[in-house]
Amino acid sequence: MRETGYLRTENANGIRILTEKMPHLRSVTTGFWVGVGSRDEPQELSGISHFIEHLLFKGTERRSARRIAEEFDAMGGELNAFSAKEYTCYYAKVLDENLEQAMDIMVDMLLNSRLSPRDVDAERKVILEEIAMHEDSPDDIIHDLFVSALWESHPLGQSVLGSQNVVRTLQSADIRDFFGRYYYPENIVVAVAGNVEHEKIVEMVERLMAVDGGRGRHSRHCVVPEIRPHTVVYDRPTEQAHIVIGTQGLPRRHPARFALAVLDNILGGGMSSRLFQKIREERSLVYSIFSYHSMYVETGLVAIYAGTSPEKAPAVMDLIKEEIDLLLEKGVTAEEVERAKGHIKGSLVLSLEDSGSRMTRLGKAEVSGGEILELDELLRRVEGVSVDDVQRVAYELFGPRRLVAVIIGPFGDREFQAHLF
């Protein structure tokens, strides 16, 4: 058995099992990743994957919701879940001696949850409150609104939480049908990191999840969305204006993804980034400004967020556009590239020091068709990025000038189009 690196097994019923041994730890993090998310939902069921995620904590034939909570509390463990566009993850962090008990509970939740009409009606109220809270947080919801504006009718444009109107109408029969379509062995990945032995985890999964496979993996019909440059203004009585400006990015396995990470870091990835220095430090126009990128199977996005006073919003948008123009006209410097690579490499190493991060790296890549690279190879790929690589990806993404902007603030019907195009 290797002391480092990960191991992978696909068992007879199609469940994929990945482990990474971290012998110096007493903790273990395990995740059950299901290959379904908001992009797989028809519009009339928008938010159903997230609804199911909630319902799996409401109890099984063997355990009530209270008993599930009590068993994890007695272990001093953590049990949680999250939904995303391409997957749903249920995860737990426990002491290594409690791993089998934790996995038994999680498998029980995955295989035997009641999904009863009573539980659906009760959890519906909780989810409606969650959506309302999200919609009351403009610095959160603006990112959803940007994705919706960027990808419009494409499945990736759908909200993970769904809309209040759809959540109000979802019924137990809808949920059972959707659950049956996607929660099956070949569509599940089990990822475990910590003080574990791979063979023991494989045996444990085969024993606890002795269910029939044979349906094959879920496959998606993926089409790259067309981007329509435009600006959307949401008139709301907020104290601050919230702005996101961005465009199409790169798919998850694109060879230039490491150059994009360096570009993102130079543009708005830290306190020394161009946007932070120019718009916050030199002009004092914002408190928060940063860039980010996300990658999916067939496409991705790159975006810039800024929060500012409403009266300063036009100036901030002008300066963001100026920085994009400067990037295309003058390029990046060797010094900026080296600093960004150092930042990324340091963040990578630090992020993988705990079992939760290692588990997430394995599970997310496997369930979404990504590439799992050893840490040394990741660092080598980052180090190999050149000034020319960064400039090429900058031209590819920003050169066509297909920018989409979303703004929230007390603007009435004010027009912002001229500040970007």
Question: What amino acid positions are annotated as catalytic residues?
Answer: 53
Task: Count CB-CB contacts under 10 A for residue 3.
Answer: 8
State the Cα–Cα distance between residues 57 and 59, nearest whole angstrom: 6
Q: Are 127 and 121 in contact (CB under 8 A)?
A: no
State the Cα–Cα distance between residues 230 and 323, nearest whole angstrom: 19
State the Cα–Cα distance between residues 84 and 356, nearest whole angstrom: 17
Angle, CA of 288, 289 and 295, to the nearest 5°: 125
224 DSSP 8-state letter = P
* Helix, coil or strand: residue 144: helix
Give the pair of three-digit tokens for residue 77.
């463990």
State the Cα–Cα distance between residues 250 and 248, nearest whole angstrom: 7
Of 146, 304, 315, 163, the closest CA to residue 233 belongs to: 146
Q: Which residues pair with 404 in a beta bridge?
A: 230, 246
